[in-house]
Amino acid sequence: MDYPLMNLFLTMLWFFLWTAWLILVFRMITDIFRSHDLGGWAKTGWLLCVLVLPFVGVFVYLIARGRTMGERDMQQAQARDSAFRSYVREASAGPGSSGTSQLTQLAELRQAGALTDQEYQRAKSKVLAP
């Protein structure tokens, strides 16, 4: 047991810093490839800068494009959210639910005053008829 507690702490600290650095480098690389405003040569240049000169490349990338990284993440999250919502709407509007959506629309029209009670009952009977 010739490994003092302070050495264990320093080893864990270096391991944590190394892991954080790898996460940061991979985050930069994925952001470079996901960026739509960069052309092929610009992506190649940034990638070489990050891989060949890792500390300088990552810090320069963060200074030059750090603000837009968050904006691209937000746009991507919003696109995924809207795609998910449209999928859920399409999946929920299956063959058996078209009558339900029509009844909901009829009820909204009646509440808004666009339909009288008699018109509502006639339209409802048409929707519910087999």
User: Is there a contact between 50 and 32 (Cβ–Cβ < 8 Å)?
Assistant: yes
Boundary of a domain, candidates 66, 81, 116: 66
Task: Report the predicted TM-score, pTM, of the whole model to 2 decimal places.
Answer: 0.57
37-53 residues labelled b (16+ CB within 10 A) or e (exposed):
ebeeeeeeebbebbeee
Condensed to tens digits (0 to 9), the pLDDT of residues 21-73 reads 999 999 999 999 988 888 999 999 999 998 898 889 999 998 998 888 888 88
Boundary of a domain, candidates 66, 88, 111: 66
Q: What pLDDT score was predicted for residue 5? A: 83
- Return the number of other C-beta atoms located less than 10 Å from residue 100's C-beta: 12
Residue 110, classed as helix, strand or coil, is helix
Residues 1 and 52 in one domain: yes
Q: What pLDDT score was predicted for residue 21? A: 93
Q: How far apart are CA 59 and CA 65, in angstroms?
A: 10
Q: Is residue 87 part of a domain?
A: no
Q: Is residue 120 part of a domain?
A: yes
Residue type, 114: A
- Token representation of residue 70: 């968050």
Predicted confidence (pLDDT) at residue 16 exceeds the cutoff of 90: yes
Condensed to tens digits (0 to 9), the pLDDT of residues 76-130 reads 899 999 999 888 877 776 555 567 777 888 888 888 888 888 888 888 888 787 6
Q: What pLDDT score was predicted for residue 12? A: 95
Residues 60 and 102 in one domain: no
Q: How far apart are CA 57 and CA 51, in angstroms?
A: 7
Q: Where do we find the tokens 């739509």?
A: 36
Residues 1 and 62 in one domain: yes
- Domain span at residue 23? 1-66
